[in-house]
Amino acid sequence: MSRFVKLDRLDPYRLFGSSLRRSRLGMRAAFDAAFASFKRCNDLLDAYHWGREELDNSRDVFEMLGVTNAASAQNASPSTLADLERIYADAQAEDLQADYQASIVLLFADDALYRFAKGALGRAPAFGAGYGHDYGTHRGKVPLTDLLRASTNAIRHV
C-alpha cells in the first residue's frame, strides 16, 4: 500500500489524472505486450495444427500404400511429434503471458477507478452502481466499471 494513501486527502480528480498520466506509458507497454503474446500464441497454434495435419497426412499416405521408406524417415520434416509438443507448450506459455500482461492493465484500471470513486463519493463504490458502456448478454448487460471490478476480483482470487 502506498505511504501517501492515508496521509493526504488530495482532490480525487487531480489524483486520478496524475495516476493516468504517470502510468500511461507502462500500461500501454503492458497492453501491447499482451496483444503481442496473443498474436504469438495464435501463430504457434497455427504452426502446431498445420504440422499436426502434415504429420497425420504423411502417416496416412504411407500406411495406405503399405510403403515404408527408411530414407524418408531420416529426412523427416521438422514437424516431428517432439517438435509439435514443444510448439504446443510454447503456445500455452504465450497464452499465459498474454493473461499476465492483461491482468496488469485490468488491475491498474480497477485500482484507479476504485480510488477515484472512493475519493469522489467518500465511500467505496458498491456493485450495481456502475458506469460506462454496457457489455454482455448472458445475464443481462453489465456496466464497464462493474465488469472491471468483477474481472480483477477473479484475477486476485484465482
Location of C-alpha cell 503456445: 91
Phi then psi dihedrals of residue 134, to 5 deg = -95, 140
Phi then psi dihedrals of residue 147, to 5 deg = -65, -40
Residue 2 CA to chain centroid, in angstroms?
26
Location of C-alpha cell 498474436: 39
Q: Which of 92, 105, 111, 91 is closest to 34 using CA atoms?
A: 105
Domain borders along the chain are 12-157
3-state secondary structure of 125: coil
pLDDT tens-place values along the chain, 158 residues long: 566 666 667 788 888 888 888 888 999 999 999 999 999 999 999 988 888 777 666 654 555 555 555 444 444 454 577 888 899 999 999 999 998 998 888 888 878 877 887 888 777 766 666 667 777 777 778 777 777 777 777 766 65
Q: Which of 110, 140, 136 is closest to 125 using CA atoms?
A: 110
Return the pLDDT at 74: 47
Distance CA 76, CA 85 (A): 16
Distance CA 81, CA 58 (A): 13
Half-sphere exposure for 104 (CA within 13 Å, toward CB): 18
Distances (CA, A) of 18 to 9, 31, 125, 153: 14, 19, 21, 24
- Rg from Cα positions in the chain: 25
